[in-house]
Structure 1
């Protein structure tokens, strides 16, 4: 390699590094659960656009009323500049000489995920979208939880009560206050003009919960027991319970480094018109031989609930467990 070639190579490397640093200095923008789709209008108005809408605007699991997973904003490829490149999530779909899928992190700003889907034909694009949608959605959801945690970070405090009683570090926004606080149960609540959001924390010995068989029915019993004991209406026979007439979703997951079960569904207040969605985490702590139970639920009758539940999920997923005995 001659000196001129080496010089050009060094200039290219320096330019690339400078560009990457510049991108990292640009902070991405956009509402939580909002994605930008960059695609020509002709593709967007045909079967490719239909496929994208069906997958990325499909209903959120666990909400009593249908709401889309993501809010979609579509832009033609010739406007791929300016504010569009600052979006936290961008999906670029186009026809090209070969079939290709890639993910580029922080391509134009940070934090950011840019998904590139290129197909030789409409059929190829549909196949690529079908194949990669599950991984794209997982990546977006993870990024949106992190974005919501970042959004909340300046307004949260570690609850000393929860830390002392349950050996848990749970960062809760300062807007929450204690509705109930006793030796083995905490109910934190945030009230606002259109409703409220709540966080429940409790624990019990592992030997009292069977981890095999029908785990979902036993989680429902836990929730109904908590509702019967603590979450009451205005009359003596009114309490919170899981409304099994709505779909229930159970996922085995990992939280705070422990095996856990995530449950989503709908709660209802007996003999009342009050109802709404919930998300719960049952965490198996083998080290301390206990089950940790966390739940978030909201009551916002006049508004969509997706983003309220997303905030609760972000708070609960930030939990850390002390390993001290």
Structure 2
């Protein structure tokens, strides 16, 4: 009896320990794929028809502010029977299936990690169209977040030790070590990196807290700000030339959250006043109330005749690493 009691106690203890441990987590291989790549898994006939057109309308639309024009994702379509093995490890996946059950949702880390899988099912074209329209915005945001995290993971392996942003503005930015300090003045820091046929650039400066108080002139005020900063700090190749906002196209403006603070995101095209040079820019105007200022972070690229989406995406990923000093 004593032996049986001891054995029972041991078994109960083992079961209790097992329960405390919780269920074993399933092993997931690391996800794969180029940045901004989207795997679309759907029947080829659906892809060639109206449902495919609806997918392309949302997921292959042009990225804002790019010259030349480029879609927000590089899409690869495969039929469901091919989606297995290493193919299923793609980081961003859109799964579209004809089914009597209509649904649209997003799953996380299904076949690999990190991974986002958007699932859309329907029976008729209207089912698909409604589900695609309702899910597309959330799916694009989810795909972008996982792609940003992947880009950050790649470049944070080797970071610059430059302290200009910290010393001038009380912020930290995770900037790859290949970026070099190009210019530093009071209230202005510029870092850049040489790329094939051009440069990628990061700027930081601040504006008074009461800037941009009129919603009706917000876009024009951003243009004026950028143009004044360009004239003062960002010269063109010849004397008297400098960077301004492209006059023919107003910037795209979006609400944003950067470094835990509310911000405005502006995307558009810059040009050199008086000289044929241009490229895309991304500007964040951050409400840094604690420091009584608007902190401005900007990335812009010069790479003539090159596709610039992934360059701008890297700059976005860098700017989104901003952290404010404790108490800011």
Question: Normalising by structure 1, what TM-score?
Answer: 0.90
Query: Which residue number in structure 2 is paired with residue 22 of structure 1?
Result: 27
Residues 63-120 of structure 1 show CA distances to partners (whole Å, capped at 9, x for unaligned) of: 1321001011011011120122110011111111311222221100000011111112
3-state SS of the aligned residue for 1:65? coil
Cα distance, 1:21–1:159 mapped onto 2, change above 3 Å: farther
Give unpaired runs (5+ residues) of structure 2. 1-18
SS of the aligned residue for 1:154 comes to: coil
Equivalent pair of 1:281/1:293 in contact (CA under 8 Å)? yes
Q: Indicate which of 187, 192, 197 corresponds to 2:195.
A: 192
Aligned to 1:175: 178
Of 148, 151, 156 in structure 1, the residue corresponding to residue 151 of structure 2 is: 148
* Correspondences of 1:72-87 after superposition (within 5 Å): 72-87=75-90
Which whole-Å CA distance do the structure 2 matches of 1:162 and 1:100 have between them? 47
**Which runs of 5 or more residues in structure 1 are unaligned?**
1-12
Give the C-alpha shift of residue 160 in structure 1: 1.3
- 1:156 match: secondary structure: coil
1:305 Cα deviation (Å)? Answer: 0.6
2:214 alignment partner in structure 1: 212
Equivalent residue number for residue 307 of structure 1: 310
Secondary structure at the aligned position of 2:280 is classed as strand
Question: C-alpha distance in 2, partners of 1:123/1:286?
Answer: 47
Q: Distance in 2 between matches of 1:315 and 1:168?
A: 13
SS of corresponding position for 1:302:
coil
Please tell me whether the aligned partners of residues 158 and 169 of structure 1 are also in contact (alpha carbons under 8 angstroms).
Answer: no
Q: Provide the rounded CA distance (Å) in 2 between the counterparts of 1:158 and 1:69.
A: 32
**2:179 & 2:321 partners in 1: Cα distance?**
16
Is 2:313 the partner of 1:316?
A: no
Separation in 2 of the partners of 1:62 and 1:134? 19
Query: What TM-score do the two structures reach when normalised by structure 2?
Result: 0.89
Counterpart Cα distance in 2 of 1:31 and 1:199: 23
- Please say which structure displays the higher CA radius of gyration: 2
Per-residue CA deviations over 1:28-78 (Å, capped at 9, x if unaligned) read: 000011010110111111111111112111100111321001011011011
Secondary structure of the structure 2 residue equivalent to 1:132: helix
Per-residue deviation at 1:158?
5.5
> How big is the alpha-carbon RMSD for the aligned residues of Structure 1 and Structure 2?
1.7
SS of 2:120's partner is strand
The 3-state SS of whatever aligns with 2:249 is: coil
